[in-house]
Amino acid sequence: MMKKQIINKKDLLGLGPNSKLIKDYKKQWTTLSKIQEETLIGNILGDVYIKKLKRNKHFLLQFEWKNKAYIEHIVRVFDEYVISPPTLYERKNHLGNKVITWRAQTFEHKAFDKLGYYFMENHKKIIKPDLVLNYITERSLAYWFMDDGGKWDYNKKTKNKSLVLHTQGFKKEEVEILINDLNIKFNLNCSIKFNKNKPIIYIPNKDYELFYNLVNPYIIPEMKYKLLFNV
């Protein structure tokens, strides 16, 4: 019996989405790996867009970051679903300043549908009560932090190790659910703060070592700067 030939992703460059070769290539993949799913959960809580276009049956992912090394890393994580490499994008912000980011996206695929339907409602990300306790792992937490985390105090001379997760896109009640369950699952002491009247998750100074040990194994070298102090 002849072994089924594996389609090489390089052979898909320049082909349209309805190409038979692309359709056959997609059939080689059915579900996300455990690492991909845990990573994507953190990404969705952060900056990744998971969406289903009107013309598509399935969800796709859209990535955009300033850090080229990070987007290249994420593209490698989801390598089989990304055909084209990240591209440079320039735009002007509301102050008229030039902003440079890197963009990439996957093709639409049924492998993304599980998390797409879980997180999205009326084209908006939502938080369900069982998210943290049943789905978020240390790896998910690390990618969430790399996407949308940072330090609380930007004074260069500070000894304050407090951190934040930027959750301004979620409702206050949703952020409260996240905080409650993060504290239960990971033994943290997170609380809610507000940035321009939008809710964010505050991780206090006393939790820094615990949080560091949870996420550090998954933080890529180019994002280590977000962890201010070694433990």
92-105 residue pLDDT tens: 888 888 989 999 99
CB 219 within 8 A of CB 227: yes
End-to-end CA separation in angstroms for the chain: 56
> CATH number of the domain at 17-122, please?
3.10.28.10
What is the rounded average pLDDT for all residues in the chain?
Answer: 91
Average pLDDT over residues 161-182: 97
Asked whether residue 157 carries a pLDDT value surpassing 80, the answer given is no
Does residue 22 register a pLDDT over 90?
Answer: no
Going by C-alpha positions, the residue among 215, 181, 197 that lies closest to residue 228 is 215
Contact (CB, 8 A) for 191 and 178: no
How, if at all, do strands 191-195 and 124-125 pair?
unpaired
Q: How many whole angstroms separate alpha carbon 127 and alpha carbon 134?
A: 12
Model confidence at 4: pLDDT above 70: no
**More confident: 4 or 52:** 52
Orientation angle between helical segments 34-45 and 68-77, nearest 10 degrees: 140
Task: Quote the pLDDT of residue 55.
Answer: 76
Which H or E element spans position 102? strand 98-105
Which architecture does CATH list for 127-223?
Answer: Roll (3.10)
pLDDT, position 5: 55
Q: How far apart are CA 195 and CA 178, in angstroms?
A: 17
3-state secondary structure 112-147: HHHHHHHHEECCEECCCCCHHHHCCCHHHHHHHHHH
User: Where in the chain are all domains bearing CATH 3.10.28.10?
Assistant: 17-122, 127-223
Distance, CA of 162 to CA of 228 (rounded, Å): 9
